[in-house]
Amino acid sequence: MTSGAQRTTLILVRHGESRWNAEGRVQGHCDSSLTPRGRAEMQKLAERLASKDIAAVYSSDAGRARESAELIAAPHGLTVNVHQALRERCYGVLEGKTLEEAARDETGWLQAWRGDRLRLAPPEGETQPEMSQRVMAALREITAAHPGHTVAVATHGGPIKSAVFHILQIPVSSWDLTWVANGSITILRGTPDLMRVAAFNDTAHLDEEPTPTWRTSDIGRES
């Protein structure tokens, strides 16, 4: 990092629990509303961030993320900036289904995808590297727009984990060794050219420790 560069702080927030999270359905670019638990998670997070000097709030265009962002923005009197590139990974034909439902309908691709679900894409979907590329471009853009300030970004588990893996140069083969909880905070700090991870998956503001979802069968609860 160059001397004197103004460091931006990005507070990445995974949206609260959604209805499809609770049902184990793959969401991706599709959407479902927050559950009462999800709204409570986000209210507690908003209360934690209310005393922070937040200059802007961003969100993906998914309703579950926008609703989460609006709760964060309200105490600061801010309007949510919607950024499409902050979307969850597109899961194509899987979206709206549980993996059990998909297995009944699949035509031969599902077994191969489950064996390499990060490098391969479901039909009409995108790969993890493709998601990572668009998410990192969006985060650099947001960082450049707010030098020296703190910005809250309401997004999804996949984009948050992708950013952390990219910055720390963690191989995607280790993807299932960590997770991002609904309503959690991950903090990045730096410039568009050099970001560092200051915190990851912080859930200290929540009443109970969320249950990790590490298995391929839980992909619906991850999105």
Q: What fold, for 8-222?
A: Rossmann fold (3.40.50)
Q: Is 88 a catalytic residue?
A: yes
Whether the model pTM is above 0.85: yes
Centroid of chain to Cα 31: 14
For residue 214, the model assigns a pLDDT of: 44
User: Which entry of 15, 29, 83, 156 is annotated as an active-site residue?
Assistant: 15
In this structure, what token pair is assigned to residue 187?
Answer: 């903090």
| pLDDT lower than 50: segments of the chain | 1, 214-217
Distance CA 127, CA 133 (A): 10
Partners of residue 13 on adjacent β-strands: 154, 185
Identify the pLDDT of residue 220.
Answer: 62
Residue 217: the pLDDT is: 47
Catalytic residue among 17, 41, 88, 126: 88
State the pLDDT at residue 117: 86
Coil, strand or helix at 31:
coil
What letter does residue 61 receive in the DSSP assignment? S
Distances (CA, A) of 131 to 64, 88, 181, 215: 18, 8, 19, 20
- Residue 15: active-site member: yes
Domain ranges of the chain: 8-222
pLDDT score for 223: 79
